[in-house]
């Protein structure tokens, strides 16, 4: 019976989708191979579809999983590898490696959530560890693009805030499920403050938004959201009084956002080039490998969305946004099917985290909101970011697997005559 | 738990709204501004593609070739050079509209229409066809609404060595017939002298020059009076020659040299004040209206708006927004004190009066045609804004007629033709003389043309700018317009 169950799951829309995604990337890398006859392109044309296959079906072989969701996530990850490889083969190859590691981490997270009975005993460790990790760059950090939130370790640099995301989500969901609202919000506020002090406003905004969304989901209190926003406003005013110099620097970003064309060659350069790249792409894009979006600083990171619109066009860009929306909605569905408050909040947090991150960075790219440097989940270059994003998906899958297991247990109990509850 | 699940649903709706916002704003922004971004000078992509495509021609409304390519054989192979109209006077007159191959002029057709000229509008089929036939792709031809002969003629009317601008447009359709800026330079031979000239010949004054509109702004002040005062036409105003506002004065007709007395207009109504361009009256009108009402009327005429015309990139005109003293408000009624507008925008203001209060969107590209003759786009007229009620426009038209018949603008008279207009002499702190302005139009459905002329540092609008307008209209009437 179990075997039959799996077979049913592997057919249907998920399966067709995975095949399409694999074909897309095989052809795309093959196209790049035809452009430069580099064996690496050919190797990726074979390897990337294999990772996609594993990332989509590997998990569903281990336990029931949502292949449609997985195929979307894999599509976005592979899209990142493709675009990065096209921009710089070296980065593309590194990203492919990160992708493989990320899929493994995703499975690890799924297993963790599926089988961990409770986070009660590790919660305090998570919280203290989070704050300590976040504060670490203040002591031994290196500065990148004005944000002092990186740690270099053994020749590799990474952002602790990406790892802390996972702990933050678990801790907040855990405490909110126990109705410790004040404690949760206090913890989130400390994290946000530490990030703001490091000038990492993008991540601070992301944490802040996620905390508010989770707080609202747990309490249903608009007052809480209002207090959060008010507190942030007060913090900004206070920050202005304590450190006017730094505040002025942040305000200059807002000015650049209002009119980047005032200083096309200077402060506004990045945004302007991003906008131009998207305009060059038009509806259908200039074609893979035909654009010149490398003129944008951080084209492989903050501005990768502009590169995608440049080469694949606006319609494709809209579809990418739609995929993120679908991933978010899938996460919310998992949350609503969850069987405990903790798991429901956990999945909600994951969905909100991904959605807000997408909003903050794409919104910055298209000049909807001021630009803050954070990564586009799954796509941007960067090991920590990719792995943590995949971990978040792993957590969602874990929650789903746990609910499914719960349903099955109930059914078995019922069949044995035990009945429900 | 149930409550939480409901909350989660609301969270989902909120996040969905964020995504919808992203998609909607992104789509809107790229659709509306895409061409501006694309044709920006900062776009390196277009430059990199230029070598692959033979650029299309630029033609004027009569089919005169303004820009074309010449291929020559060199040691390295075929070399393509971009050439401009054969007559140096014509290519100098058109240089600010057409632009040059080095991109010295902002938003010239050469850069703004790059997507047409360099074949970015070609369909996939056409691209493949060129690819398989092994021919180099050729971009689309761009045909303008402008008349290059008129432009060359009008350029010659300006006093020697003076900078300025002139715009002629059809006030019923919005198509522009002339858009010239002085000084000019030769696009085919850009000299170091042109680059270093303090008068900045690369600068397109017709659309980039933000001038104080001076007395031409009285059209807007008068319109605001007609809109807000029920007795606007009959109310009597007192001109003393020197209106005290706070501890300063709004000056008027000046001082009589012989007697040393301050000259005044005495008691007058709005028509008379408009006819003689009485500063005192218009300052009083502005003070009586108050800043907010005058600003609202100015905004109805397009001040403080972000102009997003399809193929003409115009600097935004501004009506000062905040912290205004009484004195500044008084001066605003006369068209000074922080007000700025481009010659094109003032031409639109005159057009609105001529066209029953309806302001048409200006455009310069008539059509684009592919290399093998397929029509790609053809311009159609669009309304930009309704600036005022038709009745108010009729009254203002009458005022502007008397200006030319027996007021400050008599130099624009043409026998047998109804010319309406308004002169202006705008003061600029850094200049010895005033900027001479004239905006006006021919009030005749068969010849629906509006004009705006600015001559910098030249003197009175009635004596310097109005005669230029007259000669341009005369030339147009003689040449079948």
Q: Which residues does residue A171 pair with via DSSP β-bridges, in sequence order?
A: none
Region B421-439: mean pLDDT is: 90
Question: B162 pLDDT exceeds 50?
Answer: yes
Fold of the B214-363+383-478 domain: Beta-lactamase (3.40.710)
CA distances from A40 to A27, A44, A86 (A): 14, 6, 11
Domain layout of chain B by residue ranges: 214-363+383-478
Average pLDDT score over chain B: 88
Region B72-100: mean pLDDT is: 86
In whole angstroms, give the CA distance from residue B151 to residue B158: 12
- Going by C-alpha positions, the residue among B334, B340, B362 that lies closest to residue B423 is B334
Is the pLDDT higher at B129 or at B441? B441
Q: Which two tokens stand for residue B438?
A: 């004239």
End-to-end CA distance of chain A: 25
Residues in chain B closer than 8 A to A328 (CB atoms): 12, 15-16, 19
Contacts of A84 (CB under 8 A, 6+ apart): A91, A92, A95, A300, A304, A381
Given a contact cutoff of 8 angstroms between Cβ atoms, the answer to whether A399 and A335 are in contact is: yes
- Going by C-alpha positions, the residue among A161, A42, A178 that lies closest to residue A119 is A178
Confidence of residue A10 (pLDDT cuts 50, 70, 90): very low
Confidence of residue B460 (pLDDT cuts 50, 70, 90): confident
In whole angstroms, give the CA distance from residue A364 to residue A261: 15
Lowest-pLDDT choice from B133-147, B169-183, B336-350, B351-365: B133-147
Across the interface, which of A276, A325, A344 has its CB nearest the CB of B4?
Answer: A344
Q: B72: phi > 0 → left, psi -120 to 50 → alpha, else beta; which?
A: beta
- Going by C-alpha positions, the residue among A253, A318, A239, A250 that lies closest to residue A283 is A318
Residues, chain A: 421
Residues in chain B closer than 8 A to A280 (CB atoms): 38, 43, 45-46
Digit-coded pLDDT (tens) for B250-298:
777 666 566 666 777 888 899 999 998 888 899 999 999 999 999 999 9
Q: Check if A282 contacts B (Cβ < 8 Å).
A: yes
Scanning A393-412 for CB atoms below 8 A from B yields none
Lowest-pLDDT choice from A147-156, B228-237, B408-417: A147-156
Residues in chain B closer than 8 A to A308 (CB atoms): none
Which DSSP symbol is given to A375?
A: P
Region A303-329: mean pLDDT is: 93
Q: Identify the closest residue of chain B to A344 by CA–CA distance.
A: B5
pLDDT for res A146? 63
pLDDT for res A317? 94
Confidence of residue B69 (pLDDT cuts 50, 70, 90): confident
- Going by C-alpha positions, the residue among B306, B319, B300 that lies closest to residue B29 is B306
Digit-coded pLDDT (tens) for A395-410:
999 999 888 888 888 8
Select the residue from B12, B44, B120 to test the A interface by mutation, using most A Cβ atoms within 10 A. Answer: B12
Cβ within 8 Å, pair B23-A322: yes
Q: Check if B75 contacts A (Cβ < 8 Å).
A: no
pLDDT for res A7? 45
Region A319-345: mean pLDDT is: 93
Question: A9 pLDDT exceeds 70?
Answer: no
pLDDT for res A4? 46
Residues in chain B closer than 8 A to A212 (CB atoms): none
Region A381-397: mean pLDDT is: 92
Lowest-pLDDT choice from A20-29, A91-100, B29-38, B335-344: B29-38
CA distances from B174 to B197, B214, B312, B325, B379 (A): 33, 24, 11, 37, 10
Given a contact cutoff of 8 angstroms between Cβ atoms, the answer to whether B347 and B439 are in contact is: yes
In whole angstroms, give the CA distance from residue A278 to residue A281: 5
pLDDT for res B449? 96
Task: Kindly provide the ipTM of the predicted complex, given to two decimals.
Answer: 0.90
Scanning A76-135 for CB atoms below 8 A from B yields none
pLDDT for res B258? 65
Question: B244 pLDDT exceeds 80?
Answer: no
Query: B29: buried, middle or exposed (CB in 10 Å: 19+, 13-18, 0-12)?
Result: middle
Contacts of A127 (CB under 8 A, 6+ apart): A167, A171, A187
In whole angstroms, give the CA distance from residue B178 to residue B146: 5
pLDDT for res A19? 87
Each residue of A212-251: b (16+ CB within 10 Å) or e?
bbbbbbbbeeeebeeebeeebeeeeeebeeeeeeebeebe
Give the range with max mean pLDDT: A6-15, A146-155, A235-244, A307-316: A307-316
Digit-coded pLDDT (tens) for B387-397:
999 999 999 99
CA A139 to chain B, closest CA, distance in angstroms equals 36
Average pLDDT score over chain A: 86
Q: Check if B28 contacts A (Cβ < 8 Å).
A: no
Q: Which two tokens stand for residue B306?
A: 């972000």
In whole angstroms, give the CA distance from residue B358 to residue B300: 11
Across the interface, which of A335, A344, A368 has its CB nearest the CB of B22?
Answer: A368
Region A167-192: mean pLDDT is: 91
Given a contact cutoff of 8 angstroms between Cβ atoms, the answer to whether B455 and B471 are in contact is: no
- Write the DSSP assignment of A168-236 as a string of letters: HHHHHHHHHHTT-HHHHHHHHHHHHHHHHHTT-HHHHHHHHHHHHHHHHHHH--HHHHHHHHHHHHHHH
Q: Check if A335 contacts B (Cβ < 8 Å).
A: yes
Cβ within 8 Å, pair B42-A366: no
Residues in chain A closer than 8 A to B38 (CB atoms): 276, 279-280
CA distances from B47 to A376, A380, B41, B51, B104 (A): 30, 28, 9, 8, 14
Digit-coded pLDDT (tens) for A257-297:
888 887 777 888 888 899 989 988 888 888 888 888 888 88
Tell me how many residue pairs between chain A and chain B have CB atoms under 8 A apart.
Answer: 132
Confidence of residue A155 (pLDDT cuts 50, 70, 90): low
Q: What is the CA radius of gyration of chain A?
A: 22
Question: A242 pLDDT exceeds 70?
Answer: yes
CA distances from A335 to A125, A378, B9, B28, B49 (A): 25, 21, 10, 33, 50
Given a contact cutoff of 8 angstroms between Cβ atoms, the answer to whether B393 and B443 are in contact is: no
């Amino acid at each position: 019976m179990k075997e039959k169950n799996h077979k049913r799951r592997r057919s249907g829309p998920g399966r067709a989708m995975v095949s399409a995604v694999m074909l897309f990337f095989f052809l795309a890398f093959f196209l790049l191979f035809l452009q430069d006859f580099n064996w690496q392109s050919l190797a990726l044309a074979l390897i990337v579809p294999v990772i996609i296959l594993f990332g989509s079906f590997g998990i569903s072989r281990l336990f029931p999983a949502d292949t449609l969701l997985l195929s979307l996530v894999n599509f976005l990850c592979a899209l990142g590898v493709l675009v990065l490889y096209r921009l710089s083969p070296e980065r593309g190859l590194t990203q492919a490696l990160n992708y493989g590691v990320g899929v493994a981490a995703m499975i690890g997270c799924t297993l963790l959530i599926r089988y961990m009975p409770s986070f009660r005993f590790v919660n305090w460790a998570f919280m203290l560890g989070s704050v300590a990790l976040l504060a670490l760059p203040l002591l031994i950090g290196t500065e990148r693009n004005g944000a002092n939130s990186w740690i270099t370790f053994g020749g590799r640099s990474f952002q602790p805030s990406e790892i802390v995301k996972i702990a933050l989500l678990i801790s907040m969901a855990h405490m909110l499920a126990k109705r410790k609202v004040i404690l949760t919000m206090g913890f989130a506020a400390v994290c946000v403050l530490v990030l703001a002090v490091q000038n990492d406003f993008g991540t601070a905004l992301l944490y802040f938004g996620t905390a508010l969304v989770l707080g609202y989901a747990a309490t249903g209190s608009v007052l809480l959201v209002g207090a959060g926003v008010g507190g942030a406003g007060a913090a900004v005013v206070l920050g202005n009084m304590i450190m006017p110099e730094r505040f002025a620097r942040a305000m200059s970003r807002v000015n650049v956002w209002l009119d980047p064309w005032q200083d096309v060659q200077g402060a506004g350069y990045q945004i302007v080039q991003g906008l131009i790249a998207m305009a060059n792409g038009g509806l259908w894009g200039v074609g893979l490998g035909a654009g010149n979006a490398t003129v944008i600083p951080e084209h492989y990171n903050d501005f990768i969305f502009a590169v995608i619109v440049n080469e694949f066009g606006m319609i494709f860009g809209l579809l990418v946004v739609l995929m993120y929306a679908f991933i978010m909605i899938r996460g919310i569905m998992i949350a609503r099917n969850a069987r405990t408050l903790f798991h429901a909040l956990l999945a909600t947090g994951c969905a909100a985290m991904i959605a807000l991150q997408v909003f903050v960075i794409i919104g910055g790219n298209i000049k909807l909101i001021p630009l803050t440097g954070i990564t586009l989940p799954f796509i941007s270059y960067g090991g920590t970011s990719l792995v943590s994003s995949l971990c978040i998906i792993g957590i969602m899958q874990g929650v789903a697997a746990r609910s499914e297991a719960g349903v099955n247990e109930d059914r078995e109990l019922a069949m044995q005559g035990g009945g429900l509850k | 738990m149930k409550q939480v699940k409901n909350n989660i649903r609301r969270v989902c709706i909120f996040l969905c709204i964020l995504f919808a916002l992203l998609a909607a704003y992104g789509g809107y922004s790229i659709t509306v501004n895409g061409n501006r971004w694309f044709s920006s000078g900062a776009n390196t992509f277009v430059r990199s593609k230029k070598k692959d495509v033979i650029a299309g021609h630029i033609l004027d409304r009569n089919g005169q070739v303004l820009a074309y390519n010449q291929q020559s054989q060199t040691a390295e192979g075929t070399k393509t050079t971009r050439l401009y109209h054969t007559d140096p006077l014509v290519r100098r007159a058109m240089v600010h509209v057409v632009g040059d191959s080095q991109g010295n002029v902002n938003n010239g057709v050469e850069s703004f229409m790059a997507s047409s000229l360099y074949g970015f509008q070609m369909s996939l089929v056409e691209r493949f066809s060129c690819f398989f036939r092994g021919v180099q792709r050729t971009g689309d031809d761009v045909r303008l609404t402008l008349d290059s002969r008129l432009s060359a003629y009008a350029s010659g009317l300006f006093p020697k060595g003076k900078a300025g601008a002139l715009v002629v447009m059809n006030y019923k359709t919005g198509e522009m017939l002339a858009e010239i800026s002085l000084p000019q330079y030769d696009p085919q031979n850009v000299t170091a002298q042109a680059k270093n000239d303090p008068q900045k010949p690369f600068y397109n004054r017709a659309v980039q020059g933000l001038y104080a509109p001076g007395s031409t702004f009285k059209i807007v002040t008068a319109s605001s009076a007609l809109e807000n005062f029920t007795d606007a036409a009959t109310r009597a105003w007192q001109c003393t020659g020197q209106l005290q506002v706070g501890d300063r004065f709004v000056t008027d007709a000046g001082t009589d040299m012989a007697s040393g007395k301050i000259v005044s207009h005495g008691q007058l109504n709005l028509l008379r004040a408009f006819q003689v361009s009485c500063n005192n009256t218009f300052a009083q009108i502005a003070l009586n209206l108050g800043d907010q009402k005058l600003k609202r009327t100015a905004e109805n005429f397009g001040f403080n708006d972000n102009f997003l015309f399809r193929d003409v990139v115009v600097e935004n005109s501004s009506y000062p927004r905040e912290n205004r003293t009484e004195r500044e408000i008084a001066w605003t009624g006369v068209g000074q004190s922080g007000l700025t507008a481009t010659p094109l925008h003032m031409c639109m203001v005159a057009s609105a009066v001529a066209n029953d209060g309806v302001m048409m969107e200006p455009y310069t590209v008539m059509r684009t045609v592919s290399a093998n003759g397929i029509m790609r786009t053809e311009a159609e007229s669009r309304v930009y804004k309704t600036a005022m009620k038709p009745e108010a426009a009729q009254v203002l038209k009458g005022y502007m007629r008397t200006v030319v018949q027996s007021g400050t603008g008599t130099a624009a008279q043409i026998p047998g033709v109804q010319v309406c207009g308004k002169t202006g002499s705008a003061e600029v702190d850094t200049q010895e003389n005033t900027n001479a302005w004239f905006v006006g139009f021919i009030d005749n459905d068969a010849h629906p043309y509006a004009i705006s002329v600015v001559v910098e540092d030249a003197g009175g609008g009635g004596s310097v700018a109005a005669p230029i307008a007259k000669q341009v209209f005369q030339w147009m009437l003689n040449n079948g317009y």
